[in-house]
A and B are shown apart, each in its own frame.
Chain A
Amino acid sequence: MAGEIWTISEHKDNVLKEVSFELLAWGRKLADERQTALCAVVFASDITETELGRLFEHGADKVYVVQNEIFGHFLVEPQARTLKYLVEAYQPETILAGATTSGRTLMPYVAMQVHTGLTADCTGLEIEPETGNLLQIRPAIGGNIMATIKTPNHRPQMATVRPKSIIIPDAEAGRMGEVVTPDIPEENFTSRVRFEKHITEGRGNAALEEANIIVSGGQGLQGPESFTLVEQLADAMGAAIGSSRPPVDHGWQPYVRQVGLSGRTVSPALYVAFGISGAVQHLAGIQTAKNIIAVNSDPDAAIFQVADFGIVGDALQILPVLTKHIKEDL
């Protein structure tokens, strides 16, 4: 039988994050095809059995859980040491993690130390029929090319997977599995880097990568004040706020909101662009959005090339009208 397929679960304060279930959705397909077990790996400080049960309901056959105070916040060293220890002990065939700030920190650290291949930010995963190798599909060069990558001779095969790149199937209530609590030598639970504190953001800095809807503004909004209109629509739609590069360069918006080649790459169900002309660098960051709506006064703006629906008009006038309709009609 093939080695197991593992997913690295993420949690915040011991509550599992969506990405943990997305990884299981990907992993379930692969495990079925490879006729092997799908296993979720959890590093937590105080996670309940009920919470772990949700992993089984989302497709895991087995859960490896390592509990220690040091896993209360993400720290790369103890997670990397523990994962390396587990990899050597159980020899999984494949490890998937989210292409999140923690996944993209942990996975390259571990891949280096266990000496295996890692593919970043995949948007598709398949099994190569002849060999059983994992085919890892990802955009590169600003989304202008798609590359299929494999790790033919090293194991485990490792990949980070872009959040929101799969729809989580409904949980299967009552589905059970095996909880494994491996014995990990204490010396793995140390870190030179120390977590000190969270710094809470104001509203609207919800993680762009995790948002279902993003409402974004560009140069066409003409000034920082106009972003209030974007915020109002975002509030009404339950959306996160994004920005193209010019508003960030002008200091109207923080970098955390920048979408594009030198900002975040996003895959929401809907991306709405107001006053964004559609520079190649911006389009690179939104091309895996399921739906794109563009509002711009220039009918020739490049953004309309990639839009599923467009409105040619003044974004500043249209924004409040849309906000009103969302509130009244939905």
Chain B
Amino acid sequence: MHIIVPIKQVPETSNVKMDPETGTMLRTAVQGIINPLDLFAIEAALRLRESRGGKVTVISMGPQKAEVALRDALAMGCDQAVLLSDRRFGGSDTWATAYTLSLAIQKLAPYDLVICGERATDGETGQVGPGIAAALDLPLVTYVSQVVEVEDDFMRLERMIEGGREQVWSPLPLVLTVLKDVGNPRLGTVRSKLQARKAEIPTWGPDDVGTREEWIGLKGSPTRVVKIYSPKLARKGEVIVVNEENNMEKAAAAFIQFLKDREITEFIPKNNNNGGA
């Protein structure tokens, strides 16, 4: 099986603190990491390779430094990596990104499966995976929580939807977007990290993948960002401390009063006194 995993490098945000005055994120020299949700796509791919054989190719579009993310993926056990990097790719929106990645994926053919993370934790669109499927005219299964069965020419998958899950069947090749449920991402070993550091990662530009000039980068992007601003997150409402003066009952009464004041009680079912626990 040849599995291709498109990944994105995103800013590391796990150590950031909130500004207590404005409630916005304090960003200090943030480092680039593999989009945390893409780690599950890599893990799913590695598990399939372990059960079915074959190879995993990881691919990323971004600045030259996105190579670091690709090396991290190689250290996890991916077999080969390709970087799509060129100034002309800069400013791509999800349409241009999916278009560019789809051509790179075609160049890596034959393949059986493309596995994407559900979305990136910076842009949070989740549009590139489905866009790749559409550009390649492949079947698409999103929000996959479990691989139920896999054969050479089909897969049976479980996907999460609002309020439940469903099982679907699809022929291969196929594009998946996967959730965290597919399995905890493995860590690289010291040896695999050393090997990954030495690995050769080709860089492809527009001429290598054959993109149309007018469909890439900012000018190939149908959407435009008009403006960006920081919302105020802080609300700082009343806080009651439960202690000798303010016992639990007083706090509960204030809780109920809050629900009434904010008209939340209309959402609470009536007559549930008999509901029991």
Contact = CB atoms under 8 A, between A and B. Distances in A.
Interface of A: 73-74, 76-77, 80, 100-102, 104-105, 107-113, 115-121, 128, 135, 139-154, 191-201, 205-207, 209-210, 212-213, 232, 235-238, 248, 254-256, 258, 261-262, 265, 269-270, 280-281, 283, 287, 290-293, 299, 302, 304-314, 317-318, 321-330
Interface residues of B, number: 97
A147 B231 CA distance: 10
B102 to A, nearest CB: 9
Contacts of A199: 158, 164-167
B233 A305 contact: yes
Given A255-B180, A313-B251, A151 B224 contact: yes
Contacts of B135: 112
28 contacts: A104-B130, A105-B143, A107-B127, A108-B126, A109-B131, A112-B98, A112-B130, A115-B222, A144-B24, A144-B231, A149-B226, A192-B170, A193-B170, A196-B169, A199-B166, A201-B164, A235-B272, A265-B124, A280-B25, A305-B20, A308-B235, A309-B239, A311-B242, A311-B251, A321-B251, A329-B256, A330-B256, A330-B259
A318 B95 contact: no
B237 A108 contact: no
A255 B134 contact: no
A270 B262 contact: yes
A238 B239 CA distance: 25
A118 B95 contact: yes
B190 interface: no
B236 interface: yes
Given A109-B133, A147-B228, A327-B272, 9 more contacts: A140-B122, A146-B228, A148-B227, A193-B139, A193-B169, A196-B156, A306-B235, A309-B255, A310-B238
B244 to A, nearest CB: 12
A300 to B, nearest CB: 10
Contacts of B194: none
B126 A120 contact: yes
A318 B166 contact: no
B171 interface: yes
Contacts of A326: 256, 268
Interface of B: 11, 13-14, 16-18, 20, 23-25, 36-37, 93-95, 98-99, 121-131, 133-135, 139-143, 145, 156, 158-171, 179-181, 221-231, 233-242, 248-249, 251-256, 258-259, 262, 264-265, 267-270, 272-273, 275, 277
A35 B140 CA distance: 37
5 A-B pairs with the lowest CB-CB distances in the bound complex, closest first: A117-B222, A313-B242, A207-B162, A112-B134, A117-B223
A192 to B, nearest CB: 4
A107 B134 CA distance: 10
B252 A194 contact: no
B132 to A, nearest CB: 8
A111 B236 CA distance: 41
B16 A105 contact: no
Given A112-B95, A149-B223, A195-B166, A236 B248 contact: no
Contacts of B167: 196-197, 199
Nearest to A74: B161
A327 B268 CA distance: 10
A154 B222 contact: yes
A102 B259 CA distance: 33
B235 A313 contact: no
Main secondary structure of the interface of B (DSSP, over half): mixed
Contacts of B93: 117
A5 B171 CA distance: 36
B168 A119 contact: no
Contacts of A232: 277
A148 to B, nearest CB: 4
Contact of A238 (B125, B241, B253, B269): B269
B248 A312 contact: no
Contacts of B259: 270, 330
Given A80-B134, A255-B179, A325-B253, A201 B127 contact: no
Contacts of A293: 255, 258
B181 A255 contact: yes
A30 B162 CA distance: 27
A145 B228 contact: yes
Among A116, A128, A237, residue most surrounded by chain B Cβ atoms (within 10 Å)? A237
B237 A309 contact: yes
Among A104, A108, A213, residue most surrounded by chain B Cβ atoms (within 10 Å)? A108
A265 B124 CA distance: 10
A144 B130 contact: no
A170 to B, nearest CB: 14
Among B14, B93, B124, B143, residue most surrounded by chain A Cβ atoms (within 10 Å)? B124
